[in-house]
Amino acid sequence: MAFLDNSGDIILDAVLTDAGRKLMAKGDGSFKIKYFSFFDDEIDYSLYNKDNQTGQEDINILRTPITEATTAASFAPTHHLMTLRGLDSTILYLPVAKYNDNTRTGQYPGFPFASTSDNNETANQVVVICDETTENKYVGEKSTGDKNTPNGFITGWNSEKAKGDRIVVDHGLDTTQLSYQMELDRALQETAWTVELDKRFGAIIDRNGRLADRVFVDNDNIATYYITAPSFFRMNIPKETKSDSVIGGPRGPGLEYSILSSVELQTDYLFDKLGLQATNYTPEQSDSSTRTVKYIDTIVKVRGQNTGAAIDVSVRFIKTPQS
């Protein structure tokens, strides 16, 4: 929904998204709106000018065009407004979600992005291997040395293998002004997350290889997962170990998940329809002489349901072309 005009009479325009209409169309009485969220993504607060005459400091903000309501579920608000349950006047920092790219060692490992040398000169991506042939190319055909998958790669075609390669999202107050050994107020902690991923490409799994609860799929094939299971949460990071998290200050429970690639991505069809091809793509991990891969790039959206802290993770699905 959206305010159509921010001067004079207040007009509120509310429409259902594609997902909402699909739920309402069931006609079984199960469609009931219990929660809603306000957001201010279109507002640029840097336009506030304290040097303007009294009463005019925020005039440029008030003149900002307001986003109209849209039925597209893909239009996901980023900056949600929230109630801090009595902390509004005392809170100094808001929580953020950050990708933990620490090494994959220790009791609380991170998950580094694939290196540019391993990923066709593309930085800041997680790479998902979509079939056994492609896995063998990067691991099985290596004649000597370490036969593990490269950093930043998930063996996504097999849940038993994929569950060991988990993306880590840390949550908390990212500041050095407050000690990381302080307790994060419960009002600022996350107890539920939503994760969005195109269902044609894969699904979200936990540390045990079990699928997350998928609540709906919109008309653009984007599946939304509502995550509350403890097997997805990173809990009890020792306060005395600062380097276990990429959050500088007090930390709350984080999120751990992996990606299981879809059966459809074990064929070339979607790669030919939606993807691209790289002719010189071979990580240093591999001795394979076959350097051509097909790939699809996408985004996995993660958002905390309490504080609205959000992060987008860039993911690349790869597959060796069928002969």
Domain map of the chain by residue range?
Answer: 1-81, 96-319
Per-residue pLDDT tens digits for 183-192: 898 889 999 9
Q: What is the DSSP string of 130-159?
A: -SHHHHHHHTTT--SS--SPPTTEEETT-H
Per-residue pLDDT tens digits for 123-164: 999 999 999 988 887 765 554 555 578 899 999 999 999 999
Residue 194, both tokens: 């939503």
The pLDDT of residue 272 is 96
Return the H-helix or E-strand segment holding 269.
helix 269-274
Return the H-helix or E-strand segment holding 21.
helix 18-24
- The CA R_g of the chain, rounded to the nearest whole Å, is 22
Q: Are strands 233-234 and 251-261 parallel, antiparallel or unpaired?
A: antiparallel
154 closest CA partner among 265, 5, 229: 265
Q: Give, as one character, the DSSP assignment of residue 315.
A: E
Q: Report residue 281 CA to chain centroid gap.
A: 26
Segments of the chain with pLDDT less than 70: 1-13, 35-36, 69-80, 84-90, 139-147, 282-290
Contact 310, 304 (CB under 8 A): yes
Reported pTM: 0.82
